[in-house]
């Protein structure tokens, strides 16, 4: 779909579980071909928001659209537009990397699943490992394969829900390079993370989700302007995203 409208649009989304309100009227837009980071601590509501956008959970109030399709009333079209990679790699460790990709291609009824698998193995630097069972892969390799599997069928929008949880620093950098490559190729990425450095490295825009609400939303430069620069020995020191996050969330708690 060619349009200048946001790839993802969220307005007034609310969600409660029993008497606990997890999302309290969330609003944001994700521009096409960008990385939008939803940043927040554990329990902030990030995964709940992603599950609503993936049509896996119904909101109590508000509206959300992906590619112009309403997540509540046009769920099938939404699912055709997206792919979701969760916090834990969903690869079958008994199958080889190539077999995992071919399985997804067959489930999506794509022609030439072998060619689709080989193209993605090459794109994600996994060709040499493609014939090995994924149980032998490192954490970074499994995560790269997991993201490759989510790209079978060329979805317009990909949700990465805390994609580097549990990975070592080297594997995290591998995943960051994959995400940068996706966006360079025109894919829109909605990234949830609790790692501030990850948002700093990858995101075009960052929204801070705290106690079920978006309390800040902007580019890194815009968020930095929320805090004055400090002067250390006559040299201006810009605030880090960590300092901004802590200052804003503490203000809200006060």
> What pLDDT is stored for residue 89 in this prediction?
64
**Which DSSP category does 239 fall into?**
P
> What pLDDT is stored for residue 228 in this prediction?
57
| Beta carbons within 10 angstroms of residue 232's beta carbon | 8
Tokens of 42: 């554990």
Query: Considering only CA atoms, which of 188, 124, 191, 185 is closest in space to residue 160?
Result: 191
> What pLDDT is stored for residue 165 in this prediction?
82
> What pLDDT is stored for residue 234 in this prediction?
40
- Alpha carbon of residue 162 to chain centroid: 7
Q: Map out the domains of the chain with their CATH numbers.
A: 8-91+137-253 (3.40.50.300)
> What pLDDT is stored for residue 225 in this prediction?
81
189: left (phi over 0), alpha (psi -120 to 50) or beta: beta
Helices marked H in 108-207 = 113-123, 139-150, 169-184, 196-202
| Dist. CA 139–CA 143, nearest whole Å | 6
| Dist. CA 132–CA 238, nearest whole Å | 47
Q: What is the pTM of this model?
A: 0.82
pLDDT tens digits for range 190-229: 999 888 888 889 999 999 999 899 999 999 888 888 765 5
The phi, psi pair for 249, rounded to 5°, reads -70, -35
Angle at 84 between CA 83 and CA 88, to 5 degrees: 145
| Per-residue pLDDT tens listing for the chain (254 residues) | 455 789 999 999 999 998 899 999 999 999 999 999 999 888 889 999 999 999 999 999 999 999 999 999 999 999 999 998 876 667 899 999 999 999 999 998 999 999 999 999 998 889 999 999 999 998 888 888 988 898 898 899 999 988 888 788 888 888 888 889 889 989 999 999 888 888 889 999 999 999 899 999 999 888 888 765 544 444 445 667 777 777 777 766 55
| Dist. CA 78–CA 15, nearest whole Å | 20
| Dist. CA 217–CA 158, nearest whole Å | 20
């Amino acid at each position: 779909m060619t349009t200048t409208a946001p790839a993802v649009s969220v307005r007034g989304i609310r969600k409660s579980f029993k008497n606990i309100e997890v999302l309290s009227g969330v609003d944001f837009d994700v521009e096409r071909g960008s990385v939008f980071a939803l940043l927040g601590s554990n329990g902030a509501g990030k995964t709940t928001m992603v599950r609503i956008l993936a049509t896996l959970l119904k909101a109590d109030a508000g509206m959300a659209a992906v590619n112009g399709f309403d997540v509540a009333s046009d769920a099938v079209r939404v699912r055709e537009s997206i792919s979701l990679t969760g916090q834990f790699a969903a690869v079958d460790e008994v199958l080889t990397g190539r077999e995992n990709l071919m399985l997804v291609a067959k489930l999506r009824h794509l022609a030439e699943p072998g060619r689709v698998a080989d193209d993605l193995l090459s794109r994600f630097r996994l060709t040499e490992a493609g014939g090995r069972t994924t149980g032998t892969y490192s954490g970074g390799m499994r995560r790269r394969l997991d993201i490759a599997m989510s790209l079978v069928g060329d979805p317009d929008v990909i949700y990465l829900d805390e994609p580097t949880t549990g990975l070592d620093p080297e594997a995290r950098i591998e995943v960051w390079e994959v995400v940068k490559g996706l966006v360079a190729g025109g894919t829109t990425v909605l990234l949830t993370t609790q790692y501030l450095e990850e948002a700093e490295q990858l995101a075009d825009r960052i929204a801070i989700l705290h106690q079920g609400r978006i309390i800040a939303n902007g580019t890194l430069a815009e968020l930095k302007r929320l805090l004055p620069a400090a002067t250390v020995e006559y040299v201006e020191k810009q605030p880090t995203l960590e300092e901004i996050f802590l200052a804003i969330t503490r203000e809200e708690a006060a």
